[in-house]
Amino acid sequence: MTKAHSRLIWLILIVLAVFLGYLFWQQQQAPNSGRGPGGPIAVSTAKVTVKPLVRQITSLGSGVANNSVQIVVPASDFLTELNIQEGKAVAAGDIIARLNNVQQQARVAELSAVLTDQNRQLARLQNLATTQATAQSMIDEQQTRVNTTLAQLDIARAQLNELTIRAPFDGYLGLRLISQGAYVNAGTVLTTLDDLNTLKVEFSVAEHHLAEIKRGMPVQVTNVAYGNLVFAGEVSAIDTRLDRVTRSIRVHATLDNSDLRLRPGMLLNVKVELANVPALQISERALIPQQNRQYVFVVNSENRVSMREVELGQRIPGWVEVVSGLEEGEEIVVEGIQKIRPGVLINKVGA
């Protein structure tokens, strides 16, 4: 039993030694896996280029009609005319509804007749005054009557006009809420009117962007209903106050919506372009952070690499601006930096 145990132990030790030797061989092969016959290390490189550096801020916003009102009844009476076709485009001044106006028309006609008669009497007194057959006081009294009746006629005409409800601006009618012939009270809502040809987008911007955002800046808007379709507009107004709770400021942008694809109340994804300037940029994958500094591997004409410190500027997803340390057209390593060290020979396998 002792010899059998001894042979078993030696067998286990031999198998273990072979296994450890295999692992050591694998580790020795791994660093050389990217090397060609001459020993260069396979890496991916890219040229340092100048391209537009676009800085954006994103926010969620809501669609708001350029002009929007509720069409309400100014007085209590019967609806004798109702011209509401839901979704129909109307022009400013078009008649939307008319209330019973028989009494007001009669009142206007009555005052018009009275005014005509009073003007005739005033003219007669003025003719008599030329022959000094009447006193000036009588003319003044008649002129007062004329002025009073004229004022009453203006009020009656205004009240008559109020019974005809017109569109205050160009827009599109909403849902009809009342039927023709119904008796309505003052303040009853008949429908809505929205100017949809231009859509406003209301969104909020954080306080630290306040100094950067300006009127006229380009805005891109998307909505889930239209996928990746982008609607272009510009910043049109910036609020004068910040919200005390969120420390953000409300901003309005305007979009051309003549095709009526966007509607008030829509949830919109907003991107505001803060800057678009040419800048020297490299991929973030090329950076080698060491303490508070950033380095890259630069490739020379002999395909050997050297480590160089760079000063960075603004960052955008996947890219970073290089302020100093590199020149346009220089070649740097973007993939495989973990396999190389300064002075080694590389094999460029991609960009």
How much is the pLDDT for 2?
A: 60
Residue 231 exposed, middle or buried by CB count within 10 Å (0-12, 13-18, 19+): buried
**Does any domain span residue 314?**
yes
How much is the pLDDT for 3?
A: 63
Cα-Cα-Cα-Cα dihedral sign, residues 257, 260, 266, 270: negative
Distance, CA of 316 to CA of 10 (rounded, Å): 61
Amino acid at 46: A
How much is the pLDDT for 197?
A: 92
Cα-Cα-Cα-Cα dihedral sign, residues 59, 63, 67, 71: negative
How much is the pLDDT for 37?
A: 46
**Does any domain span residue 128?**
yes
How much is the pLDDT for 11?
A: 75
**Does any domain span residue 318?**
yes
- Which of 126, 143, 162 finishes a domain? 162
Q: Who contacts 44 (Cβ-Cβ below 8 Å, separation ≥6)? A: 333, 334, 335, 336, 348, 349, 350, 351
Distance, CA of 255 to CA of 344 (rounded, Å): 56
How much is the pLDDT for 72?
A: 93
**Does any domain span residue 8?**
no
Average pLDDT across each block of 10 residues of the chain; the chain has 351 residues. List them in order.
Answer: 67 76 59 51 86 85 93 91 90 92 89 90 80 73 89 89 91 91 91 93 92 91 93 94 93 94 94 85 89 90 90 84 89 87 84 52
The 10s digit of each residue's pLDDT in 56-67 is: 888 999 999 999
**CA–centroid distance for 245 within its chain:** 22
CATH of the domain at 337: 2.40.420.20
Query: How many separate domains does the chain show?
Result: 2
**Does any domain span residue 240?**
no
**Does any domain span residue 14?**
no
102-129 helix and 136-162 helix, angle to the nearest 10 degrees: 160
Which residues form the domain of 314?
34-53+278-350
Tokens of 329: 């057209």
How much is the pLDDT for 8?
A: 72
pTM over cut 0.75? no
How much is the pLDDT for 53?
A: 79
247: left (phi over 0), alpha (psi -120 to 50) or beta: left
**Does any domain span residue 75?**
no
Place of tokens 């031999």: 14
Same domain? 49 vs 107: no
**Does any domain span residue 114?**
yes
